[in-house]
Amino acid sequence: MFANPLAPEWLEAPAEANSLPSTVWSRNSARTESGELAIAGVTVTALVRDFGTPVYVIDEADAIARATDIAAAFESEFARIGTTVKVYYAAKAFLCTEVARWMTAAGLNIDVASAGEMAVALAAGVDASRLGFHGNNKSLSEIDRAVCAGIGPIVIDSVVEIGRVAEAAARHGRTQRVRLRINSGVHASTHEYLATAREDQKFGVPLAEAEAVVAQIRSHSSLEFVGIHSHIGSQIFDTAGFAEAARRLLELHARLSVDAPVPELNLGGGFGIAYTSVDRALPVAELAASLASIVEAECTRLGIVVPVIAIEPGRSIIGPSTTTLYTVGTIKDVLVDGEAVRKYVSVDGGMSDNLRTALYGADYSARLANRTSEADPALVRIAGKHCEAGDIVVRAEYLPGDVELGDLIAVPATGAYGWAMSNNYNYLARPPVVAVRDGHARVIVRGETEDDLLRRDAGITPLGESE
Ligand code: LLP
């Protein structure tokens, strides 16, 4: 099979450029008989006719199934070692009221990282006690609103927050449940992890100081200490980093349990997903089994009761559920170093609807969506429409070489940190989010209009008239 020397080493020229690898595409993605992509029974041409492009298409049943699967896998593996699990959906990956309701109906709690995320969850009718609250710099007003609403555990991130939360709780006549975020010194990235005394980052208090900090928390009668927390990174593919963090945390947990019982241990989120056909995400059952075995072995070694375990997955629940659809606007064959051609396929979105490629150099895959083609695959780079050379959606992919203007391109696995990090660069309007299920499509977040974009400019809409 033809391969382009400009292709990255990992990218194989596909035997079948129209295939939809099940590891990458949402569960209900398929080609119709005529060859076009349909998601949950809705064809891309129907979606684009009704909602335009770009559009985020979320496979509702896929998102819900992943939430239920992860909860079921962890519950059953941890039941085996005699404890229970609280699953918090990490809302930062993607949140709107509809998704908040899907998650809570599936039995999950929700982890919010700002008053804004909390407001969305509350607007969805989620009971405040089912929310956890994170952040390394929560404002006094955020703390006040959270405590007043009766929020679940607040994760204290630094010593200065102890007094802030204690004072707000006392003012509202509440006993506020709190966790303490620990900087465990373990950092995991996709394929490797690093274990140091203290990870060089802004979150949490160092392991070595944790006992003194917990003593301070316990000295406040308006606070109830429920346990420690750590989150070692995101898009993690193996369990070694989680294992090391769990060992370190459980040792601390055992020391903290000497003075008073510590009911819970929160291991954070970060479970990786496949963005391309070469990524191998750990099956949730395997991940849960492996974490349960580590926790069991450590608790036995330390002679402590297995605590209730909390986890906070975001990406692994919502990431694979969503596909972004774009329309091809221009195509250029660029001869690189006089050596080989890279086909630049420009679409009608870009770093405003998916910042991850530009920001992290993240890799995605793509398919021709409105049709199949038997043309020889060509190496393409899918670029956006922004005035910036780094505005790339998919850095490298093989698409049928006859890709043409007006074709639809589908980029899978855009559900996590796609819409959530979308922006208005170049005054592009943010696309809608459309949920598809059993042959039906409905908007769950409407797309922005030019009016939305102009409304906050005080020179156009005088202040006071915008609402
Ligand atoms: N819990 C805490 C405390 C976190 O900080 C995060 C993510 C999560 C849970 C959920 O992690 P997940 O399961 O989604 O990997 N914008 C980046 C990812 C930043 C993650 C920040 N924290 C990206 O697009 O890859």
What are the tens digits of pLDDT across the range 25-69? 999 999 999 999 999 999 999 999 999 999 999 999 999 999 999
Flag whether 417 is marked binding.
Answer: yes
> What pLDDT does residue 13 have?
82
How far, in Å, from the CA of 270 to the mean position of ligand 1? 6
96 is catalytic: no
Q: What is the mean pLDDT of the chain?
A: 96
- The CATH number of 29-60+320-455, from 2.40.37.10, 2.40.50.40, 3.40.109.10, 3.30.70.260, is 2.40.37.10
Nearest CA to ligand 1 atom 9: 269
State mean pLDDT over 422-446. Answer: 98
- With a cut of 60, say whether residue 467 has pLDDT above it: no
Percentage of the chain modeled with pLDDT above 90: 91
Task: Band the pLDDT of 413: cuts 50, 70, 90.
Answer: very high
Nearest CA to ligand 1 atom 15: 270
Flag whether 270 is marked binding.
Answer: yes
Out of 96, 148, 299, 387, the active site residue is 387
How far, in Å, from the CA of 266 to the mean position of ligand 1? 14
- With a cut of 60, say whether residue 1 has pLDDT above it: no
State mean pLDDT over 404-423. Answer: 98
| Ligand 1 binding site (Cβ under 6 Å of any ligand atom) | 90, 92-93, 111, 134, 231, 234-235, 268-271, 312-316, 356, 416-417
pLDDT single digits (tens) 282-340: 899 999 999 999 999 999 999 999 999 999 999 999 999 999 999 999 999 999 988 89
The answer to whether domain 29-60+320-455 and domain 81-317 are alike in fold is no
CB-CB contact of 333 with 401 (8 Å) = no
Task: Give the homologous superfamily in CATH for domain 81-317.
Answer: Alanine racemase (3.20.20.10)
How far, in Å, from the CA of 91 to the mean position of ligand 1? 9
> What pLDDT does residue 371 have?
98
> What pLDDT does residue 338 have?
87
Nearest CA to ligand 1 atom 19: 234
Flag whether 360 is marked binding.
Answer: yes
State mean pLDDT over 216-223. Answer: 98
CB-CB contact of 65 with 417 (8 Å) = no
Show me where the domains of the chain are located.
29-60+320-455, 81-317
